[in-house]
Amino acid sequence: MPTEQTLMPPGLAGRTRQSSTSPALTLAAAVLGSGLITLDATIVNVALPAIGSSLGGGMSGLQWVVDAYTLAFAALMLSTGAFADRAGASRAYAVGVALFTLASAACGLAPTLPVLIGARVVQGAAAAVVLPASLALVRQAHPDPARRGRAVATWAAGSSTALALGPVAGGALTTSWGWRGIFFVNLPLGLAALVLLVRTPRSERRPAPLDLPGQATAVLALTALTFAVIEGGTTGLAAGAVAVAATAVFVRIEARRPHPVVPLGLFRDRAVRVAVAAGVACSVAFYGTIFLFSLFFQQLQGRSALAAGLLFLPMTGLIPVTNVMAGKLAGRHGPRVPLLVGQALTVAGLLALLAVGTRTPAVVAAVLLVPPAVGVALAIPTLTAVMLDAVPPERAGLAAGVLNAARQVSGGLGIAVFGALVTGGFTTGMRTSLLLGAALFVPALALSFRLADHPARRP
């Protein structure tokens, strides 16, 4: 997802007992770790047909391969920032990277689809720890604000680059090594990140409240909801009822907790509602189109995994450049312009993709994938700034964590819904999915038009 790591997760104390003797190595370790978990968010999509041929499971099984990672990542992100503070950023990072590496090995060795899905859950949980800890390491190694700003920009650029390379790397590895290669490639990268971490001073621990009841009910509600969408039928109805009940309990818990993982009062601010609504729509559009067209290029057009990965390169390759443009546009015109333009461009791009069919030349489809990706890349940095500017500085990390979790969850649910729609007929289901994705922008655009004057808009 475009620049999802540009968000500042909750709990980023990042203080150490000593200054880092090698800030460059600390930055390299942080970039490698955050890039690794970003890569895994997109590298798997191109390998889905190969995984299905090898392990079976049908469309629902392939949806779980993607969503098991996304949902664990998103749901646990609500608390892992506080965990990083309590354990210390360096310790949390080491635990997260080590666990992610071991889970990647388990994915690559998985003999059955259920084992692969279980290992993907562990990967997602580990990724939720790595993300806030990696940014905390960057902050602790660069106490000077100017240098820290450049370091954070490098950290974010590394994640965007990994995001762009994901489909291509997935296609190349699947073609040359088999689908298990997309997981085995994480092993040397994870070990390299841990080796670089040796030169990083230990981070101080600090008290940070954990809302375990809220976290537990959030996981239950999101898992049950995803299960209901993917599985359907009587079992799906039962899971839907569990999701509704768990959500009601979650809201009740959050309203009473002194330190909730999701402060409900946060949503009273219109700017927060704008950011979340636009972020949800952008995530569904981005993750959903990659999921759909990974299957389209291979299963309907019969192309190799490598060819499919290369066809995504125009789409993903422009994301880092567009992120930079979004920042410049927001600085010159305020956030409303890039936010509205980005969303409108995404809607136009999704509607243009309705013309794609099995006989559409692959190059034409690849070009048509560019506008929605550019639109999302314009909107994401802007809506992130809107969200962070809407809350007091001391709550910026928490707000960013909530936004990041909402975007991850919506991306996972989008894949679940789109996968269910294409099961009954791919071309018809794909077009229905694209229309649904475009429709999600209607309330987001309506809210964005009403965006009040905002600190980010001031010169």
Q: Are residues 75 and 175 in the same domain?
A: yes
Average pLDDT, the chain: 84
Count of domains observed in the chain? 3
Rounded alpha-carbon distances, angstroms, from residue 206 to 9, 82, 268, 301, 438: 16, 9, 30, 54, 44
DSSP string, 248-316: HHHHHHHHH-SS-SS-GGGGGSHHHHHHHHHHHHHHHHHHHHHHHHHHIIIIIT---HHHHHHHTHHHH
Given CA atoms 345, 283, 129, 218 in this order, what sign does their dihedral have? positive
Q: Are residues 249 and 325 in the same domain?
A: no
3-state secondary structure of 5: helix
Residues 6+ apart with CB under 8 A from 253: 211, 213, 214, 217, 260
Answer whether residue 13 shows pLDDT above 50: no
Tokens describing residue 328:
């410049």
Tell me: the pLDDT tens digits for 380-432? 888 877 887 777 765 666 777 788 888 888 988 898 899 889 988 899 999 99
Q: Which range has the top average pLDDT, 191-195, 336-340, 352-356?
A: 352-356
Look at residue 16 in the predicted model and tell me its pLDDT. Answer: 42
Q: Are residues 142 and 188 in the same domain?
A: yes
Q: Which of 258, 284, 319 is the C-terminal boundary of a domain? A: 258
Domain that holds residue 301: 266-459
Mean pLDDT of 122-151: 80
Q: Are residues 167 and 278 in the same domain?
A: no
C-alpha torsion 22→24→27→31, nearest 10: -140
**Contact indicator for 158, 35 with CB cutoff of 8 Å:** yes
Look at residue 151 in the predicted model and tell me its pLDDT. Answer: 76
Look at residue 431 in the predicted model and tell me its pLDDT. Answer: 95
Q: Are residues 196 and 219 in the same domain?
A: no
| CATH code where residue 145 lies | 1.20.1250.20
pLDDT-based confidence at residue 83 (cuts at 50, 70, 90): confident
Tell me: the pLDDT tens digits for 230-252? 887 778 789 889 999 999 999 99
Q: Are residues 51 and 174 in the same domain?
A: yes
Q: Are residues 290 and 199 in the same domain?
A: no
**Contact indicator for 259, 247 with CB cutoff of 8 Å:** no
Look at residue 395 in the predicted model and tell me its pLDDT. Answer: 65
Q: Give the distance, in angstroms, between the CA of residue 300 and the centroid of all CA atoms in the same chain.
A: 27
Q: Are residues 239 and 288 in the same domain?
A: no
Answer whether residue 11 shows pLDDT above 70: no
Q: Are residues 88 and 149 in the same domain?
A: yes
Q: Are residues 39 and 1 in the same domain?
A: yes
Answer whether residue 443 shows pLDDT above 60: yes
Q: Give the distance, in angstroms, between the CA of residue 80 and the centroid of all CA atoms in the same chain.
A: 15
Q: Are residues 114 and 250 in the same domain?
A: no
Look at residue 158 in the predicted model and tell me its pLDDT. Answer: 80
Q: Are residues 239 and 291 in the same domain?
A: no
